[in-house]
Amino acid sequence: MDEVDQLDELMECRLNDGRKAVEPCTIVIFGASGDLTARKLIPAFYHLFADGALPDPFRIVGFARREKSDESWREELKAGMARFSRTKLDNSVWEKFAAKISYCQGDLNDADAYGRLEGMLTAFGEPRLRRNLLFYLAISPSQFGAVVEQLSIANLLKREEPSDEWQRIVVEKPFGVDLPSAEKLNHELIRFAHEKQIYRIDHYLGKETVQNILMFRFSNSIFEPLWHRQSVDHVQITVSEKLGVGGRGGYYEESGAMRDMVQNHLLQILSLIAMEPPVSLEAEAIRDEKVKLLKSIRPISPANAASQVVRGQYFAGQVDSELRPGYRQEEKVASSSNTETFVALKLLIDNWRWSGVPFFLRTGKNLPLSASEVRVQFRPTPHVLFSAECGEKLDPNAITLRLQPNEGIYLRFNGKVPGTSTQVRPVRMHFSYDSEFGAYTPEAYERLLLEAVAGDATLFIRRDEVETAWRIVDPIRKGWAEKPLTNREFYSAGTWGPVAADDLLAKTGHVWRDPQPVS
């Protein structure tokens, strides 16, 4: 293939605005009556349609047990759009979009229902709407295996795809509750689908600011040379939530902060922050480097968990002058529960780039502020020049990537205070997404769903990535087993976590840098 042919091929796989081309297809949503469909999936597909990003033609089919007509389901979805859409609903656009929505009633284990689904797809009359299929499993993970088996029996899912068609499966977390359950779940999926057909979705990876981590690191020559142990003192990753558990007490008793946040969101962010440059921006090249990074994290044994990991649980307190109950007083929570609502970890990465650099991760509920950010703190400068004026208080340089809200990047450095003295004070340069690009930012699901339709797996999680993450957190949970929380592990709602979390950093002379509200 000569250079002209290569250029033509590249142009054919991209739209004019740089997005990947998408082929006509049908999107089948299992669990169509559920909250996720109304709250996230249909609004995301509507906005993609309004933006002209979906293929022509396409269809959306909802599959669920309740009896409904196409029209009644469309009316339900329209009512949901009034609640959950990020924009005001345009009725003319909705009517065109709704005309492409159908409903198929059936039980997930009923083979006849899959026959009706196959007949509906064939009746669309466009062969590509029958051949190219995206199955979104918005159902319990325990039902994944039954659905993919039935799809295979109905000849709707082919593990070895012919060259002129494709089928893909999108599955929601949690991807198991520990390593054995994750391996079992993955095995059930790959019995009937190839790994390349499986798209494990973590909505954090769809956030614009999370995607920008790679662009920031690898497209700016002034930063990447500093991104290693010779320049970086330590890294802090904070994902804080202002809300408590609320009505999710039953779920949270089973998951806790470690399973709910650390195993997926925080380790995903860590892998993007610390991974090596990929050989290309192709999906597998990026995912290879993420897995290498996760495998480089020094294991924490159950016996060592107490020295490197802190758990916490909130008791009654105030958040923004609002009284909040303690976790043990929440609905469906045991009165003596030891479930963690806060986790802080010290992780070490055993590779050439990061040897000896601690990574501090924390997440919690009922904290003072909802924020997600990464702070890369550089090594302090020698104090010889400024010791007379500043003593040991000269602030180290830092880069903070604010992932949400008030998305942006902050560079912290020292500057001279105007006047006759030689006083030095930390100052900050601020890049704001809103100021630079405008307030519009697509919902994470919009980006992820479009990537799944386009067949780009970059923002989705591979099997070995899931299982490696569980290998990191399972020994920690084992170390907590049967051990009650201590007094230093409780924290008042509205504070930044337990005293034990401060103790964790104090061992190495560090302190937490709390996210700050940005006006």
Q: How many CB atoms lie within 10 A of CB 418?
A: 7
Q: State yes or no: pLDDT of 6 exceeds 50.
A: no
pLDDT tens per residue across span 408-459: 899 988 777 787 677 777 778 888 888 887 755 678 899 999 999 999 999 9
User: DSSP code of 20?
Assistant: B
Model confidence at 18, pLDDT cuts 50, 70, 90, reads low
Average pLDDT, the chain: 90
Mean pLDDT of 95-122: 95
pLDDT of residue 393: 65
Q: What is the mean pLDDT of residues 189-201?
A: 94
Please say whether the structural domain 206-378+455-506 has been given the CATH code 3.40.710.10.
no
- Mean pLDDT on 490-509: 96
Non-local (6+) Cβ contacts of 433 within 8 A are 208, 209, 407, 408, 441
User: Which of 70-84, 378-392, 410-424 holds the top average pLDDT?
Assistant: 70-84
Mean pLDDT of 13-35: 77
Alpha-carbon separation of residue 396 from 207, 220, 393, 505 (angstroms): 29, 21, 9, 17
Q: Is the peptide bond before 382 cis (omega within 30 degrees of 0)?
A: no
Q: Measure the CA–CA gap between 466 and 178, rounded to whole angstroms.
A: 10
pLDDT score of 116 more than 50: yes
- Beta pairing class for 317-319 and 322-324: antiparallel
In this predicted structure, the answer to whether residue 396 has a pLDDT above a threshold of 50 is yes
Which of 168-177, 263-272, 431-440, 477-486 bottoms out in mean pLDDT, i.e. has the lowest?
A: 431-440
Which pLDDT score is estimated for 425? 73
Q: What is the arrangement of strands in the sheet containing 198-201, beginning at the earlier edge strand?
A: 101-105, 58-64, 25-30, 133-137, 167-172, 198-201
- Of all helices (H) and strands (E), which one includes residue 118? helix 111-123
Domain layout of the chain by residue ranges: 3-172, 206-378+455-506
516 vs 242, which has greater pLDDT? 242
CATH topology of domain 3-172: Rossmann fold (3.40.50)
Q: Could you report the per-residue pLDDT of 223-271, keeping only the tens digit for each?
A: 888 999 999 999 999 999 999 998 889 889 999 999 999 999 999 999 9
Query: With contact defined as beta carbons under 8 Å apart, do 444 and 459 qualify?
Result: no
Residue 224: per-residue pLDDT: 86
> Residue 49, CB half-sphere, CA atoms under 13 Å: how many?
24
Structure tokens at 507: 């061992």
The three state secondary structure string of 246-263 is HHHHHHHHHHHHHHHHHH
Interval 261-292: pLDDT, tens:
999 999 999 999 999 999 998 999 999 999 99
Distances (CA, A) of 53 to 5, 14, 126, 132, 451: 26, 12, 19, 17, 11
Whether 20 has a pLDDT exceeding 80, the answer reads no
pLDDT tens for residues 291-304? 999 999 999 999 99
Domains 3-172 and 206-378+455-506 share a fold: no
Active site residues: 265
Q: What angle (nearest 5°) sits at the alpha carbon of residue 52, between those of residues 47 and 57?
A: 105
> Tell me, what's the pLDDT at 12?
41
Confidence of residue 5 (pLDDT cuts 50, 70, 90): very low
Separation of alpha carbons 41 and 45, rounded Å? 6
Distance separating alpha carbons of residues 206 and 443, to the nearest angstrom: 8
Q: Is 212 helix (H, G, I), strand (E, B) or coil?
A: helix
Among candidate residues 519, 229, 181, the one with its CA nearest the CA of residue 355: 229
pLDDT of residue 8: 40
The Cα 276–Cα 327 span in angstroms is 40
Spatial separation of the C-alpha atoms in residues 455 and 99, rounded to whole Å: 25
In percent, how much of the chain has pLDDT > 90? 72
> Distances from the Cα of 114 to the Cαs of 60, 137, 476, in angstroms?
15, 14, 42
Query: Strand pairing of 167-172 and 198-201?
Result: parallel
Per-residue pLDDT, averaged over 93-118, amounts to: 95
